[in-house]
Amino acid sequence: MAEQKATNVTWHHGEVSREDRYRLLRQKGATIWFTGLSGSGKSTIAVALETALFNQSKLSYRLDGDNVRLGINKNLGFSEQDRKENIRRIGEIAKLFGDAGVISLSSFISPYRADRDEVRRLHEAAKLPFVEVHVDCSLAVAEKRDPKGLYKKARAGEIKNFTGIDDPYEAPANPELHLHTDRMTLEQEVDIIIDYLKKHGIIGARHFTRAEDASEAIAAAR
Amino acid sequence: MAEQKATNVTWHHGEVSREDRYRLLRQKGATIWFTGLSGSGKSTIAVALETALFNQSKLSYRLDGDNVRLGINKNLGFSEQDRKENIRRIGEIAKLFGDAGVISLSSFISPYRADRDEVRRLHEAAKLPFVEVHVDCSLAVAEKRDPKGLYKKARAGEIKNFTGIDDPYEAPANPELHLHTDRMTLEQEVDIIIDYLKKHGIIGARHFTRAEDASEAIAAAR
């Protein structure tokens, strides 16, 4: 039957390895870690990137406030310790997704360099790609956008310790990618990330394409 | 080019949905939650099931002590509160994996009914399949197996609050599957779970098979 042959997955006897999952998914697991001010464009880029990856048959998954802060991290507040623990847990979850073969897209302000570096170290120890993307725009631009009305509240004193207003944003010293969202289009931003993923063999490597499926199916049908 | 056409993934403009990911992976996300005494066979079944799923080109991911207790939950001990939080977090992670389209396989004793039921409710609220599998064998058999030497330590008083010895195991009242590992073969156990997943459309539904790929590739090549 063509159905059984049209796959590049080898029959497996021992434990399934990370590399097995990579072959199955025709991609490598990785963490794309967006960091930047509220309103800088992290979520917008993550959503567009997710679509671009899907259109190339790549599996990604977004981690954001909606599914993390309201879920696993709902027992965390905004104290220094809790913000640190928030990022630590997200880093650990991203690591699990990467090990599973999924490209996770994390969109959190993650303002402190030490916390991001800890997530980076986690990934290095696990031999998983960590792509820190500085989503950069000026505070003035971010505050003008103010998509959630949070800057307004912070200026009015209704929110305390708001990044950029009364809490620092520590920009990455050496991010894998640096996107200036106040002078780039969304398409350009997504293209830069896709190019990075291809260049580093996370997507698009020859043995991950569907070409093998197609040719095997054709061969089986003949 | 056959390569582009040999896919059943539709070009996508808006946000990528859970259903999109299901189509991409040709499976539905789900949580298989193994519960049972230490030594009952949870991990053994999870490893064998992972292999069986992989051999059908299905993506699963195991959550166990190795990657959870040493990772995201490394700041939890074994107090009642911490054991509860341990299971809560694992449940939330399993939910994220299910939403991503992955079949997660959780192997934790998870002795308390209330904690497991909370995970079940999380999944119900998120409209994700939750398959509670009671991995059942007598304490005598589990203690005789004692793969990690833990019962011996518990009997010697070196480990306190050990499930089955000086802490209760609350068996599921109504699990989706009940496997008696002291009188079934591993093959039988895996088959029962695979059958359940097929019967409930999590794997193997007609529109998830690779047949479409094959026929599209053939059509494109003609």
**Residue A61 host element (H or E):** strand A60-63
* Per-residue confidence band for A6, with pLDDT thresholds at 50, 70 and 90: very low
pLDDT, residue A5, reads 39
Nearest chain B residue to A21, by CA = B59
Q: Give me the mean pLDDT over the A103-118 stretch.
A: 97
| Residue B59 resides in a domain | yes
Asked whether residue A123 carries a pLDDT value surpassing 50, the answer given is yes
Number of structural domains chain A divides into: 1
Q: Beta-strand (E) ranges in A102-215?
A: 103-107, 130-136, 177-180
Is residue A110 part of the annotated active site? The answer reads yes
pLDDT, tens digit, 9 for 90 and up, residues B30-60: 999 999 999 999 999 999 999 999 999 999 9
Size of interface A-B (CB pairs under 8 A): 144
The predicted pLDDT at position B78 comes to 84
Asked whether residue A12 is assigned to any structural domain, the reply reads no
Q: Residue B26's closest chain A neighbor by CA?
A: A25
Cβ within 8 Å, pair B51-A24: no
Quick one: pLDDT at residue B205? 57
B99 touches chain A (CB under 8 A): yes
Closest CB to A209: pick one of B3, B88, B99.
B3
pLDDT above 90 covers a percentage of chain B that reads 81
Kindly state the average pLDDT of the residues B55-82.
92
Per DSSP, the residues of B162-181 read: -BTTTB-----SS-SEEEET
Question: CATH number, domain at B40?
Answer: 3.40.50.300
Does a structural domain hold residue A8?
A: no
What pLDDT is recorded for position A208? 44
Domain coverage including residue A122: 19-221
Residue of A nearest to B89 (CA): A72
Domain presence at residue B1: no
- Among B7, B21, B22, B61, pick the best mutation site for testing chain A contact (most A Cβ within 10 A): B61
Q: Is residue B194 situated within a structural domain? A: yes
Picking from A1, A62, A92, A97 by the largest number of B CB atoms within 10 A of its own CB, the best residue to mutate is A92
Model pLDDT for residues A150-206, shown as the tens digit of each residue: 999 999 999 999 999 999 999 999 999 999 999 999 999 999 999 999 999 999 854
Summarised one tens digit per residue, pLDDT across range A44-100 is 999 999 999 999 999 999 999 889 988 999 999 888 899 999 999 999 999 999 999
Q: Is residue B130 part of a domain?
A: yes
Min Cα distance B34 → chain A (Å) is 18
Q: CA separation (Å) from A64 to A73, A125, B119, B205?
A: 11, 24, 21, 31
- Pairwise CA distance, residues A86 & A80, whole Å: 10
Contact A90, A108 (CB under 8 A): yes
Phi first, then psi: give them for residue A102, nearest 5 degrees: -90, 145
Q: Is residue B3's pLDDT more than 50?
A: no
A207 falls within a domain = yes
B70 touches chain A (CB under 8 A): no
The answer to whether position B146 is within a domain reads yes
Question: Average pLDDT, stretch B53-82?
Answer: 92
